[in-house]
Amino acid sequence: MARSKKETPKGSGSKNAVVASLLRERILNGLTLGVLRAGERLPGVRTLALDFGVGPRAVLSACRILEAERLIERRDRSGMYVAANASPYSTGESSHSEWLATVLIEGLKRGFPAPALASQLHDVFGERRFRALVADSNDDQLWSLADELVRDYGVDPVSLDLDLLALGNEFPDPLVPIDVVITTSFQTDAVKALAKRLGAPVLSLTMCTGLFSEVRRQLVRKPVYFVVSDPRMARKLAGIFATADGAENLRTVVQGREDVDAIPEAAPVYITRLTRTKMQGSPLLDRCLPEERVFSAESARELLALVVGKRMQNSFTQTMKGEAIAST
């Protein structure tokens, strides 16, 4: 892993937990970019301490946290290694069970016994699914947004290419209500009028924040490759990293138009989710693992708050209507 400027931990929580979060993110991003492999040795404790701007004890404590999550493993007299079965999707069964128990305990503190909490979740993600209009100006991000909405949030997406609107095409009124218009922070102004017409709020998501930070760290030292499907995504990436140190090291490859096999074997590579579906059998897919999620934690929290709030409001309204009918 490339050395960077000091990454002094910020935010709430203990220093050890913050350092563990930084190291976890760097390992997972390294797996996604193909610069780290399962079973590979990590930099030494002192090197990581300098990178993160903390003492060696904080790094050792962070390593113990990640070892418990089965993301890394300690080898006597050899150091710390990425676990043999490490992936962006795995943090160990014990970690998941403890997390779920914590959620249930928090529910109890708020007056929700475990069965009642399960019932609330069913009301939120049950019969009528939340519907989102997904709007952006390139196929790669439209695919990633829609894919994650379905997979992680149970949201039904309708995709809209904003360049079609810019050409004067009208977006027809949907046959079903739209609960929210989702776009990226670059396109917020472009969807405001449409969202107003649909009577839906706008949610501007930030995506791949941790991954892009790692890309900036890598760009300082070496070329970093993005493999995309839509040339418009390549142009957007050029704008995103235009002011980054080492911006001249950014390389974009449009799958189907340029030679993906010409990418150097050891180079950091990010492959968009849409492009991954078109590269079956490519050795790059084995070297560069898919990222766990593209939504930032802040955007995920904002989206879930919107989904839960609106569905609980609808559930309450339906209950009140039912009681009113029953009393007549």
Q: Where are the domains of the chain?
A: 15-93, 127-207+295-327, 209-287
Instruction: Between 9 and 187, name the one with better pLDDT.
Output: 187
pLDDT of res. 317: 46
Side-chain-side CA neighbours of 207 within 13 Å: the count stands at 26
pLDDT confidence bin for 127, thresholds 50/70/90 = low
- Kindly report the pTM of this predicted structure: 0.82
Q: Which residue has the higher pLDDT, 6 or 69?
A: 69
Query: For the chain, first and last CA: distance in Å?
Result: 70
Condensed to tens digits (0 to 9), the pLDDT of residues 65-104 reads 999 888 999 998 889 999 988 876 655 555 678 888 888 9
* Predicted local confidence at residue 170, as pLDDT: 72
In the three-class reduction of DSSP (H, G, I as helix; E, B as strand; rest coil), residue 243 is classed as: coil
Nearest Cα neighbor of 308 from 155, 159, 181 is 155
pLDDT, tens digit, 9 for 90 and up, residues 283-313 = 999 999 888 889 998 999 999 999 888 877 6
Exposure string of 3-14, with b = 16+ CB inside 10 Å and e = fewer, is ebeebebeeeee
Mean pLDDT across 149-176: 83
pLDDT digits (tens, 9 = 90+) for 250-259: 999 999 999 9
- Which residues are within 8 A (CB) of 62 and not within 5 positions of it... i.e. 6 or more apart? 16, 17, 19, 20, 22, 23
- DSSP-derived secondary structure letter, 311: H
CATH code assigned to 127-207+295-327? 3.40.50.2300
C-alpha 164, offset from chain centre: 27
Helices (H), 11-113: 15-33, 45-52, 56-68, 93-109
CATH topology of domain 15-93: Arc Repressor Mutant, subunit A (1.10.10)
- 9 or 134, which is more confident? 134
pLDDT of amino acid 310: 81
How confident is the model over 196-249, as pLDDT tens digits? 999 999 999 999 889 999 999 999 999 999 999 999 999 999 999 999 999 999
Look at residue 156 in the predicted model and tell me its pLDDT: 92
Q: Is the pLDDT of residue 42 over 70?
A: yes
Statement: residue 185 has pLDDT above 80 = yes
Which amino acid, 24?
R
Mean pLDDT of the chain: 86
Q: Listing from the earlier edge strand, what are the strands of the sheet with 250-254?
A: 250-254, 224-228, 269-271
